[in-house]
Amino acid sequence: MRFTLMTNKINIQWLKGFILLLTAISIAPVKAQQPQVIDQIAALVGRNMILQSDIENQYINYRMQRDIKGSASDVKCSILEDMLFQKLLVAQAEVDSITVDDAQVNSELDRRIGTFINQFGSQEKLEQYYNKTITQIKSELFNVIKEQLLAQQVQQQIIADATVTPSEVKAFFRSLPKDSIPQIKTEYVIQQLVKKPPVSIEEKIRVKKELLELRKRILNGENFSTLAILYSEDPGSAKKGGELGFYGRGQLYPEFEAVAFKLKEGEVSDIVETEAGYHIIQMIERKGDYINVRHILLVPKVSPADLQKARNELDSIALLIRNDSISFDDAVAKFSEGENKNSGGYLINQYTGGTSFEAEQLDPQVSFVVDKLKVGEISNPVPMKTDKQKDAYRILYLKSKTKPHRANLKDDYPKIQQWALQQKQKEAIDNWVNDKSKKTYIKINDDFKKCSFHYNWLKTK
């Protein structure tokens, strides 16, 4: 795990945001050799233009980022329809006087650019790839991000009132052709009870002394990068001499960031404490709102004796549960030290945000343990790493386990309810588009009039 990100949880919205950055970026990579064509207006939605170059740039990014099914013309038609929909939302934002301020746009822009830099490995690689400076990239993306934020607000308003009643959920499910009812894989619901032994004061003092000694050696002339390779406990950066690459504000631990942004080139910080452990930081380079630093991370360890004590405590708690002296839920509320204690100790699926896991979504260590459990059984204490990569112990409880089956109302009501809601939201959007497109000036270039659109854009005036 790299310490630099505030969390290592995969967030679905983050993934969507990253894809939006890749596909909406209005810069054609220098590597992509395209025939030179005079730019033209592909479509107009109200006062909002869609340029041919906008479609071509998105097509290039789609082609580079994923396998494309269908012909180039079909994909470009699909891209144009997505743009028409977004421009219609933006036009409605103007009518409704919906705004986003520049600070909000810049914050979102910094977040996405920072993620992009992290994926490329450095700001220089990003700039080289697009043959633009970071300032130019931000300038060209500003309006793209602003339009996305406006469109998101309008779309949320459109679907805000969409709800489904139990009778509608049942009607939706009964309307599905039998051969179209999804197959539900085996799913697990798992709870945990965690014991996190504290790090001793003596251990913290030992680590800080060791780090102070490394800092002294650097100030006396030894190479920071060499010592980072030898001693840093951040596996993500140690092999690169502690170098992190360029990051903007809000992407590093707050305590780390507060110190790093104040350093001068070549300057070495005092000890900085974060959730990850203790660091010393050296400034490599600063470019505008982005910094590239190297660091050495040392992590205080829990003593074997304290770990054994935590395991013994869990053994005692497990015995109480197995003897029916206390329920697992009550034991979690009374004894657990996990971050999810207040939600019953349920493991949360980082892909869905729910509590159900398909087998491939489980952490391998969890999967190894629960595979041996029957529903209603608890495990013996097993070692774990917390979200902050600290050593701890836990016992796992297999709350439920389903068998592969066709979806049905009895066992899969929450899923079917979500499908029904999504269908109703889609209908709300379809109705809105059909209504607003009739009242909005829309003109599409003749080159795209052969497209098979989902909506009836071509008949609007």
CATH number at residue 375: 3.10.50.40
Which residues have CB under 8 Å from 75's CB, separation 6+?
Answer: 59, 62, 68
pLDDT the model gives residue 54: 85
d(CA 324, CA 194) in angstroms, rounded, equals 19
CA distance 225 to 205: 24
Same domain, 114 and 231: no
Examine the domain organization and report whether 139 and 160 are in the same domain.
yes
Strands of 356-358's sheet in order across = 356-358, 187-195, 391-401, 382-385
The answer for 398, left when phi > 0, alpha when psi is -120 to 50, beta otherwise, is beta
Q: Give yes or no for a contact between 109 and 135, defined as CB atoms under 8 angstroms apart.
A: no
Question: 397 and 449: one domain?
Answer: no
Final residue before a domain boundary, out of 283, 298, 313: 298
Residue 374 belongs to a domain: yes
**Smallest Cα–Cα separation from 309: which of 192, 194, 193, 197?**
197
Q: Which two tokens stand for residue 240?
A: 């690169």
Q: Please check whether residues 152 and 191 belong to one and the same domain.
A: no
Amino acid identity, position 69: K
Q: What is the pLDDT of residue 9?
A: 31
Domain count, the chain: 3
pLDDT for the residue 432? 95
> For residue 320, is it within any domain?
yes
Predicted TM-score (pTM) of the model is 0.63
Rounded Cα distance between 54 and 81, Å, is: 12
Asked which of 241, 270, 298 is the last residue of a domain, the reply is 298
| Rounded Cα–Cα distance for residues 26 and 32 (Å) | 13
DSSP 3-state percent helix, strand, coil across the chain (nearest 5): 50, 15, 35
Whether residue 26 lies inside any domain: the answer is yes
In this structure, the answer to whether residues 85 and 125 fall within a common structural domain is: yes
Cβ proximity of 25 and 144 under 8 Å: yes
Q: Determine, yes or no, domain membership for 171.
A: no
Pair 261, 396 in one domain:
no
Structural domain harbouring 263: 201-298
Phi, psi of 244 (to 5 degrees): -95, -25
Asked if residue 371 and residue 448 are part of one domain, the reply reads no
Residues 6+ apart with CB under 8 A from 440: 45, 46, 88, 91, 460
End-to-end CA distance of the chain: 55
Q: Are residues 33 and 143 in the same domain?
A: yes
- Here the tokens at position 398 are 């297999």
Let me know whether 334 and 368 are in one domain.
yes
The answer to whether residue 3 is domain-embedded is no
Residue that terminates a domain, selected from 298, 325, 356: 298
Q: Do 337 and 273 share a structural domain?
A: no
pLDDT of residue 65: 63
Residues 343 and 194 in one domain: yes
Give the per-residue pLDDT at 39: 73
Rounded Cα distance between 100 and 112, Å, is 17
Asked if the structure places residue 176 within a domain, the reply is no
- Alpha-carbon gap, residue 103 to 108, rounded angstroms: 9
Q: What is the pLDDT along the chain (461 residues), one digit of tens a residue?
A: 333 333 333 333 333 444 444 444 544 444 444 445 557 899 999 888 999 988 888 888 777 666 666 788 888 999 999 999 999 999 999 999 999 988 888 888 888 887 777 777 777 777 787 788 777 888 888 888 999 999 999 999 999 999 999 999 999 999 999 989 999 999 999 999 999 999 999 999 999 999 999 999 999 999 999 999 999 998 878 988 999 888 888 778 899 999 999 999 999 999 999 988 999 999 999 887 889 999 999 999 999 999 999 999 999 999 999 999 999 999 999 999 988 899 999 999 988 888 999 999 999 999 999 999 999 999 999 999 887 778 899 999 999 999 999 999 998 998 899 999 999 999 999 999 999 999 899 999 998 989 999 998 986 44
Same domain, 309 and 218: no
Residue 408 within a domain: no
**Is residue 357 assigned to a domain?**
yes
Q: Which amino acid is at 218?
A: I
Q: How many C-beta neighbours within 10 Å does residue 367 have?
A: 15
